[in-house]
Structure 1
Amino acid sequence: MFTRLASALLVAGLLATAAPAAHAQTTAAKKAAAAKAAAAKTAAAKKAAADKAAAAAKAAAATKAAAAKAAAATPATPPPAPLTESQASAGIKEALNKGIVKAVEFASEPDGFNLNDDIHIPVPPDLEVVKSTVGRLPGMTTVFTQFETQLNRAAEAAAPKAKDIFLNALANISITDALSLVTSSSTDAATQFLRKSTQAQLISAFHPDIEAAIDQVGAGRAYATITDKYNKIPLMTPVNMSLADYTTQKAVDGLFILLANEEAKIRKNPAARTSDILKSVFGRK
């Protein structure tokens, strides 16, 4: 009986000792398996990244090789041929012709001068003192406003006469001058060239028309009303200026301002080059 009890106790002790050891062995095995799986996953990720990088490098190399092959197969675009004198002449004349037509049409419209800040004709400087003196009298503010508007109306009425004078002057632009004007860095080089050759003629042609228009639109009567009031003031130096001279010069100046604006558009804005010759001549810069 005692022997059986001892044997049972011995077996129980052995089992109790073996259980923790078996559990520890199982845990270690699980950890080892997990580490092995993690290592395999990391290795797989590294391989995938390496494969992706290699594919990208291969694609980039192929693209570069294809571009190089295409570049070698495509001949280089030759530079444009030098601008000839005849091309320059045709281009500058067309640019001026286009600018002249637009400038004269715009200036001739109602309020073409009057409502354009660039070319609006103000009260003559000689009348500024008069304006500050008699402008405070009843009704004189209205007289001055009407007078200024009428000066601009006179310029608008005379503007159409400039068209033929301008266009005839284009024939006097030599081929050598044309090449110089086209290649100039100034945006109004052609306008200034035309001004030198036509300004005196324009003033001479405009003056009678301006003088007639001044009387027709009532500017002469307004001027008489203003100066009569002023000249009757004691100790004041009488005012007597030529409205026709003043308005004629301002009208001519305004036309050249408009023409210069049109020339600058053609030189600077590709959209304003509406013909092949303008694109060819002014599209090189």
Structure 2
Amino acid sequence: MKKLTLLLSFFLVFSCAAEAQIFKKAKDLLGGGAVFSKEEAANALKEALEQGTSKGVDLLSKADGYYKNPEIKIPFPQEAEAVESKLRALGLGNQVDQAVESLNRAAEDAAYEAKDIFIAAIKSLTITDAINIVKGDKDAATQFLERETTTSLEGKFNPIIEASLQKVNATKYWSDVMGTYNKVPFVKKVETDLTAYVTAKAIDGLFLMIAKEELNIRDNAGARTSELLKKVFGK
């Protein structure tokens, strides 16, 4: 990866007139092995991102993709943690568990919709974007996707999650839970925009999984499934 970064940095710094000489020097630095062009490097990055995002989305959109993954399971909203503790103490743990499960089911329903949004952003990557990603942090591609797609994801996820919350009775479970809590004497009433909360947490979990897939492709040779990925990232 260090050598790939060095190769791409040559393309960024020098003009087209000097490109042939720089390319020869880069080849020498790579030990005289296989040579790849700027376009191949950019295409390899796009392929890696499509592979990583598709895998991440597929994992999350399955049943229990969120609910049984402790890294991204959507809990009670932070402002409602006292609600959960109080209701469990009152013997209403099952009601609380139903509410939490329904939040995660809604996120799983929405997750699949991210795939087309990600692919459109990946296809728009320029060679300069690709170079910056390769030279950047190990989650640089994830950061790029987060910048480019979060607004679109929010717009796409919000109505799906709202419909899903109705479908899996999350709104009912939540209303029951909050209604019970708000009737407890002397407690501060809690109001939460459930759809907005689940949408934000679903997107956070999505990017966490995408970042893990990006790291896997950068560091794990076995994750490079095509000849182009092996050719570029193998250097």
Same fold (TM over 0.5): yes
Please say if residues 40 and 228 of structure 2, whose CA atoms lie closer than 8 Å, have aligned partners that are also in contact: yes
Q: Does 1:171 align with 2:159?
A: no
Matches within 5 A, 1:91-106: 91-106=44-59
Please say if residues 103 and 170 of structure 2, whose CA atoms lie closer than 8 Å, have aligned partners that are also in contact: yes
Q: Does 1:158 align with 2:90?
A: no
Matches within 5 A, 1:81-160: 84-138=37-91, 140-160=92-112
SS at match of 1:135: helix
Matches within 5 A, 1:190-269: 190-269=141-220
The alpha carbon displacement at 1:234 in A equals 2.8
Post-superposition CA distance 1:129-161 (Å, at most 9, x none): 1122232223x1001111111111111111111
Task: Structure 1 unaligned segments of length 5 or more: list them.
Answer: 1-76
Structure 1 distance, partners of 2:102, 2:219, is 35
Structure 1 distance, partners of 2:87, 2:230, is 56
The alpha carbon displacement at 1:82 in A equals 6.5
Q: What is the number of equivalent residue pairs in this alignment? A: 206
Please say if residues 87 and 96 of structure 2, whose CA atoms lie closer than 8 Å, have aligned partners that are also in contact: no
Structure 2 distance, partners of 1:95, 1:79, is 24
Q: Which has the larger radius of gyration?
A: 1
Structure 2 counterpart of 1:182, from 113, 122, 134 = 134
Runs of 4+ in 1 over 6 A off after TM superposition: none
Please tell me the residue identity of whatever aligns with 2:72.
I
TM-score, normalising length: structure 2:
0.83
Please tell me the residue identity of whatever aligns with 1:225.
D
Structure 1 distance, partners of 2:70, 2:144, is 24
SS at match of 1:195: helix
SS at match of 2:89: coil
The alpha carbon displacement at 1:263 in A equals 1.1
Post-superposition CA distance 1:235-254 (Å, at most 9, x none): 32221111111110111111
Identity %: 42
- Cα-Cα RMSD: 1.6
Matches within 5 A, 1:269-284: 269-284=220-235
Structure 1 distance, partners of 2:166, 2:31, is 63
Structure 1 distance, partners of 2:103, 2:189, is 21
The alpha carbon displacement at 1:85 in A equals 2.2
Flag the structure with more relative contact order, 1 or 2, with Cα contacts below 8 A and sequence separation at least 6. Answer: 2
